């Protein structure tokens, strides 16, 4: 590296702590950042879940009076924003962070400090959004914040939607930074021999998601800037009286919003593509087809956005074109589903907790996918638009899909993180409670929607006859809550009493299972030399003449636990840094300043600038 | 501000991490400016009251400031060339020249904005004002960030902290700077030159 000797003023001394609060505040270790992402997103998951319960209590009976209309609007908006931007995206990030370097045989991500910056920006963005509850009211215009409803003077007064425009902008910075980071990490930091087509499918899906984020985040950034400027500085982007277009927001939002759907679901698909082969003791069926269908989804996801806008009067030609493209995009998704079924077919299946959640993912995602195809049919969509049928659809995809997939990943990889396996009994209880609660909650929404029950209304009259199924849904939502409690008990219990995981508790296939659990801070004592897809499996098993796996005699290939205890002074890791945290802290200060008192925004800008300067002037690691 | 790879001297693709990262970021920026330009084009000719573009644009003036910005790409190339040859005195001269040309451009933009405001065009006057100021304002902000980076490089070089082995830093700022220039060429063509 650099040959210049740099003398540094003492007040910029590099943080040195490896334990305690200071260590976590300054960490640049991808594993610690992954844990921070996961823990923070889980807290937001609980908040979003409590919001869901509030909504369900309100809707349990006709003419409910538990929440007033305005509070209801805030709660359903924050529920959606939380689950999408503060739960599923950062939970996926938690898996990216912890696993990608381990799966590709690297010691860290390409830009460790940028990685820390992403996390801190996500955290302060989430806190900024939630602070609106105490500062005059949360966003109340739905997660898609349709302008002019959200931008106009008299429509949604108060600062809620201003918090929306600034808060999502901040969270978006985090996503953009991590997109750049993971693209470079996956392309550049692969171990020798880890060609693209030897990468684990989860790594592949992370790469596709990173590209989707890279190109989708700037589009919503512009939409949010225009919305924020309309609200703060009196621009006219969404003002129909001045000639502003009532559909501009919808086009920009859904041009981001549909790729966003794949940003939410592809990580779960990647997780399932790792879990199913491991517990079927077979390689993934049609690896190349799964990879290429993932890439195809990444491309086609850009050409379907107007299926969210069929009822806005785009005209029959546009509607037909987007209906066709939407049906087409179901094809690569279907390819994946058959590949997963093919993976299980004829395998020796072990029904462990991660496997159950993975199977649950496939089953629930099929239902959500099929109801999605019914939206692609324009006349049918005219009937379903803005009813509970749509709510049912996207919960089957994002809860039945993404959340089940993420829990599958949690049961599968938490032993790698904590060193201890979660209880199988509690895991299965969690799974069955969640599966039953989920279907009780969301299946009836299909028929309520077809009966015409509109979404986003805070109550409904008794004569509508929707009371019975709404009550069932509310019961279901509490069953889901109980299942999450079981998970939390399981997690806490496993930390102290769980079975020791060892390096490879599942007899798995990929590189992360070749190192101890939890991994040492440098991950790999020696950078692996990759010769196969499913590298670890090939180190453990050869094939007999009929293609069945035969264990290789453990010997030189098996790593020596004692060896991993050494300190390895020859391995240089990046040093911790204060600056990512400092740079992130300025952003919400800018936000509050813009809303309340603009000189504060200048202070925020200077804080962020100071962080960035300090960051660019300090070396990655001290000599 | 991105990290130097500590542990892996060479990468799987052979491209430096920071360079690949910068390319990815600039790809993202294409959609950032693309969305702004799309908004401007959508609202072309849809303002319900003046001033309209033909009332305020001073094409010769903006052509000159565009030329200034274009020239700064040339000086940027010369700066990179200087550090790669190990000529640090010229490096600083060209970095400073690039920054000064950039400052001239941004100064010209500030002047242009004040003239427009005096003629009655504000952010909230009409759709033209909203979409014009936000598009060109974001571009100006990007140029300003570039100027800050150039001056930082200049300062580092003065302090002896920009040896030839770190020429990549100059190259990265150069990539960003050329990109911002190219975006301006698109904006100048689409916004100023093509009549509504
Ligand atoms: Cu969509």
Q: Tell me the three-class secondary structure of A54-111, residue by residue.
A: HHHHHHCCCCCCCCCHHHHHHHHHHHHHHHHHHHHHHHHHHHHHHHHHHHHCCCCCCC
- Inter-chain Cβ pairs, chain A and chain B, closer than 8 A: 146
- Picking from A348, A324, A522, the residue whose alpha carbon sits closest to that of residue B8 is A522
Residue A551, classed as helix, strand or coil, is strand
- What does the alpha-carbon distance between residue A19 and residue A450 come to, in Å, rounded to a whole number? 56
d(CA A498, CA A156): 51
A50, A484 contact by CB (below 8 A):
no
Distance CA A618, CA A373 (A): 52
Specify the DSSP class assigned to residue A387: B
Report the residue of chain B nearest A616, measured CA to CA. Answer: B1
CATH code of the domain made up of A30-246: 1.20.210.10
Residue A388 near chain B (CB below 8 Å)? no
Enclosing H/E stretch for A222? helix A201-233
Shortest alpha-carbon distance between residue A350 and chain B (Å) = 36
d(CA A410, CA A268): 11
Q: What is d(CA A101, CA A200) in angstroms, rounded to the nearest whole number?
A: 12
pLDDT of residue A557: 46
Alpha-carbon torsion (B128, B134, B140, B143), positive or negative: negative
Stretch 166-205 of chain A: residues touching chain B, C-beta under 8 Å: 176, 179-181, 183-184, 187-190, 194
| Whether B152 and A616 lie within 8 Å, measured CB to CB | yes
Q: In 10 A of CB A107, how many CB atoms?
A: 24
Q: Tokens 């069945």 identify what position?
A: A548
**Measured between alpha carbons, how far is residue B2 from residues A36, A477, A541, B77 in Å?**
21, 45, 41, 22
> Which tokens is A217 given?
């985040």
Q: How buried is residue A445: exposed, middle or buried, by Cβ count under 10 Å (0-12/13-18/19+)?
A: buried
Which SS3 state, helix, strand or coil, does residue A500 take?
Answer: strand
DSSP A345: T
- The candidate with the shortest Cα–Cα distance to A384, out of A446, A465, A322, A325, is A446
Handedness of CA A228, A229, A230, A236 (dihedral sign): negative
Determine the CATH number of domain A255-501: 1.20.210.10
SS (H, E, C) A134-193: HCCCCCCCCCCCCCCCCCCCCCCCCCHHHHHHHHHHHHHHHHHHHHHHHHHHHHHCCCCC
Structure ipTM: 0.93
Q: What is the pLDDT at residue A3?
A: 39
From chain B, pick out residues whose CB is under 8 angstroms from the CB of A181: 21
Question: Which chain A residues have a beta carbon less than 8 Å from that of B7?
Answer: 107-108, 571-573
What DSSP designation does B190 have?
I
B123 and A229 in contact by Cβ < 8 A? Answer: yes
CB atoms within 10 A of CB A395: 22
For the stretch A501-513, pLDDT in tens is: 999 999 999 999 9
Question: Percent helix, strand, coil in chain A (nearest 5)?
Answer: 70, 0, 30
**Pairwise CB contact (< 8 Å): A214 & B28:** yes
Q: What CA–CA distance (Å, rounded) separates B181 from B175?
A: 10
Question: From residue A141, how far is each of A128, A137, A164, A512, B117 by CA, in Å?
Answer: 17, 12, 9, 43, 33
Q: What is the DSSP letter of B7?
A: S
Decide: helix, strand or coil at residue A541: strand
Contacts of B46 in chain A (CB under 8 A): 243, 245
DSSP state for residue B188 in the 8-state scheme: I
Q: Of B32, B39, B163, which is closest to A237 when you measure between CB atoms?
A: B39
Backbone angle region of A465, left / alpha / beta, with phi > 0 → left and psi within -120 to 50 → alpha: left
Please answer whether residues A96 and A145 qualify as being in contact, where contact means their C-beta atoms are separated by less than 8 angstroms: no
Q: Where are the beta strands (DSSP E) in A103-237?
A: none
Residue of B nearest to A109 (CA): B5
Cβ B151 vs Cβ B196: under 8 Å: no
* Fold of the domain built from segment(s) B15-47+58-193: 1.20.120
- Least Cα distance to A106 among B7, B187, B146, B179 occurs for B7
The tokens describing B147, both together, are 């100027």
B19 token code pair: 């360079």
Which chain B residues have a beta carbon less than 8 Å from that of A573?
A: 6-7
Dihedral over Cα of A571, A577, A581, A586: its sign: negative
Tell me how far the alpha carbon of residue A123 lies from the centroid of ligand 1, in angstroms.
Answer: 27
Q: Do B126 and A184 touch (CB under 8 A)?
A: no
Q: How far apart are CA A573 and CA A109, in angstroms?
A: 11
CB pair distance less than 8 Å for A619 and B4 = yes
Contact flag B17-A574 (C-beta cutoff 8 Å): no
CB A438 within 8 A of CB A476: yes
Output phi, psi for A132, to 5 deg.
-60, -25
Query: Parallel, antiparallel, or unpaired: how do β-strands A420-421 and A549-551 relate?
Result: unpaired
Give the residue ranges of chain B where pLDDT is below 50.
1-8
Q: Could you report the per-residue pLDDT of B49-104, keeping only the tens digit for each?
A: 989 998 999 999 999 999 999 999 999 999 999 999 999 999 999 999 999 999 99
Residues of chain A with pLDDT under 50: 1-11, 555-564
Chain B residues close to A242, C-beta within 8 Å: 47-48, 126-127
pTM assigned to the model:
0.94
Report the candidate in B74, B70, B92, B97 with the shortest Cα–Cα distance to residue B82: B92
Cβ-nearest to B28 among A1, A217, A571: A217
Residues with CB under 5 A from ligand 1 (ion): A 258
The widest CA-to-CA distance across chain B, in whole angstroms, is 61
- First and final C-alpha spacing in chain A: 9
Q: What is the pLDDT of residue A454?
A: 96
Q: What is the DSSP letter of A520?
A: P
The pLDDT of residue A9 is 47
pLDDT of residue A567: 65
DSSP per-residue letters across B117-148: HHTT--TTT-HHHHHHHHHHHHHHHHHHHHHH
CA neighbor of A37 nearest in space, from A129, A131, A203, A171: A171
A173 contacts A123 by C-beta, under 8 angstroms: no
Question: What is the structure's pLDDT at A515?
Answer: 94
pLDDT at position A10 is 41
Q: Which of A243, A612, A615 sits opposite B46 (nearest CB)?
A: A243
Cβ–Cβ contact A235 with B under 8 A: yes
* A615: chain B residues, CB-CB within 8 Å: 1
A574: closest CA among B7, B18, B11? B7
Peptide bond preceding B51 in cis form (omega within 30 of 0): yes
Phi, psi of A170 (to 5 degrees): -65, -50
State how far the Cα of A121 lies from the Cα of A588, in Å rounded to an integer: 9
Residue of chain A whose Cα is closest to the Cα of B32: A218
**Burial (CB count <10 Å: 0-12, 13-18, 19+), residue B103:** middle
Residue A362 Cα to ligand 1 midpoint, Å, equals: 20
């Amino acid at each position: 590296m650099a040959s210049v000797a740099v003398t540094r003023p003492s007040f910029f001394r590099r943080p040195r702590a490896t334990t305690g609060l200071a260590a976590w505040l300054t960490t640049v270790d991808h594993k610690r950042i992954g844990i921070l992402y996961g823990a923070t997103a889980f807290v937001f998951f609980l908040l979003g879940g409590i919001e869901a319960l509030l909504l369900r209590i309100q809707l349990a009976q006709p003419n409910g009076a538990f929440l007033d209309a305005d509070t209801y609007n805030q709660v359903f908006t924050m529920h959606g924003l939380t689950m999408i931007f503060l739960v599923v995206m950062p939970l996926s990030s938690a898996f990216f962070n912890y696993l990608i370097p381990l799966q590709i045989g690297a010691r860290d991500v390409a830009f460790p400090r940028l990685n820390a910056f992403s996390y801190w920006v996500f955290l302060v963005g989430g806190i900024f959004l939630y602070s609106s509850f105490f500062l005059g009211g949360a966003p109340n215009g739905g997660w898609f914040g349709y302008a002019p409803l959200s931008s106009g003077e008299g429509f949604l007064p108060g600062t809620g939607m201003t918090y929306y425009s600034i808060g999502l902008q901040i969270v978006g910075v985090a996503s953009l930074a991590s997109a750049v980071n993971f693209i470079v990490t996956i392309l550049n930091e692969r171990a020798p021999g880890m060609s693209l087509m030897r990468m684990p499918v989860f790594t592949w899906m992370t790469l596709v998601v990173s590209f989707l984020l890279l190109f989708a985040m700037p589009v919503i950034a512009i939409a949010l800037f225009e919305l924020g400027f309309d609200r703060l500085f009196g621009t006219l982007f969404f003002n129909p009286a001045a000639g502003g277009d009532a559909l501009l927001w919808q086009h920009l939002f859904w041009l981001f919003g549909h790729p966003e759907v794949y940003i939410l679901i592809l990580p779960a698909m990647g997780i399932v593509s790792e879990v199913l082969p491991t517990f079927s003791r077979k390689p993934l069926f049609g690896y190349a087809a799964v990879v290429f269908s993932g890439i195809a989804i990444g491309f086609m996801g850009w050409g379907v956005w107007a299926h969210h806008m069929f009822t806005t009067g785009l005209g029959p030609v546009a509607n037909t074109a987007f209906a066709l493209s939407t049906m087409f995009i179901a094809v690569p998704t279907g390819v994946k589903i058959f590949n997963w079924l093919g993976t299980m077919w004829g395998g020796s299946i072990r029904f462990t907790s991660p496997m159950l959640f993975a199977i649950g993912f496939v089953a629930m995602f099929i239902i959500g996918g099929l109801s999605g195809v019914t939206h692609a049919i324009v006349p049918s969509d005219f009937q379903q638009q803005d009813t509970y049928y749509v709510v049912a659809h996207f919960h089957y995809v994002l809860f039945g899909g993404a959340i089940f997939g993420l829990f599958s990943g949690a049961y599968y990889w938490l032993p790698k993180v904590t060193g201890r396996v979660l209880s199988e009994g509690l895991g299965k209880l969690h799974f069955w409670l969640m599966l039953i609660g989920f279907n009780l909650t969301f299946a009836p929404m299909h028929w309520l929607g077809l009966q015409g029950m509109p979404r986003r209304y805070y109550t409904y009259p008794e004569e509508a006859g929707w009371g019975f199924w709404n009550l069932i849904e509310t019961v279901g939502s509490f069953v889901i809550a109980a299942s999450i409690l079981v998970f939390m008990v399981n997690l806490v219990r496993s930390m102290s009493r769980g079975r020791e995981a060892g390096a490879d508790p599942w007899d798995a296939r990929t590189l992360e299972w070749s190192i101890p659990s939890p991994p040492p801070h440098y991950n790999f004592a020696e950078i692996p030399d990759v010769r196969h897809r499913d590298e670890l499996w090939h180190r453990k098993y050869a094939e007999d003449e009929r293609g069945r796996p035969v264990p290789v005699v453990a010997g030189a290939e098996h790593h020596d636990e004692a060896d991993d205890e050494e300190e390895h002074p020859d391995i240089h890791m990046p040093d911790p840094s204060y600056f990512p945290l400092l740079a992130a802290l300025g952003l919400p200060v800018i936000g509050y300043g813009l809303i309340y008192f603009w000189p504060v925004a200048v202070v925020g800008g200077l804080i962020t600038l100071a962080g960035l300067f300090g960051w660019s002037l300090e070396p990655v690691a001290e000599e | 501000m991105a990290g130097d790879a500590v542990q892996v001297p060479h990468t799987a693709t052979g491209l430096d991490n920071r360079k690949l990262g910068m390319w990815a970021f600039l790809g993202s920026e294409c959609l950032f400016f693309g969305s702004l330009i799309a908004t401007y084009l959508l609202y072309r000719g849809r303002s319900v009251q003046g001033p309209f573009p033909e009332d305020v644009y001073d094409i010769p003036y903006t052509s000159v400031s565009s030329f200034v910005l274009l020239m700064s790409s040339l000086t940027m190339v010369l700066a990179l060339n200087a550090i790669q040859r190990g000529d640090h005195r010229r490096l600083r001269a060209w970095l400073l020249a690039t920054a000064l040309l950039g400052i001239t451009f941004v100064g010209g933009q500030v002047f242009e904005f004040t003239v427009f405001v005096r003629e009655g065009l504000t952010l909230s006057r009409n759709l033209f004002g909203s979409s014009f100021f936000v598009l060109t304002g974001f571009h100006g902000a990007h140029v300003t960030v570039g100027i800050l980076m150039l001056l930082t490089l200049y300062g580092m070089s003065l302090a002896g902290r920009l040896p030839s082995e770190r020429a990549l830093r100059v190259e990265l700022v150069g990539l960003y700077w050329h990109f911002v220039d190219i975006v301006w060429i698109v904006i100048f063509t689409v916004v100023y030159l093509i009549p509504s």
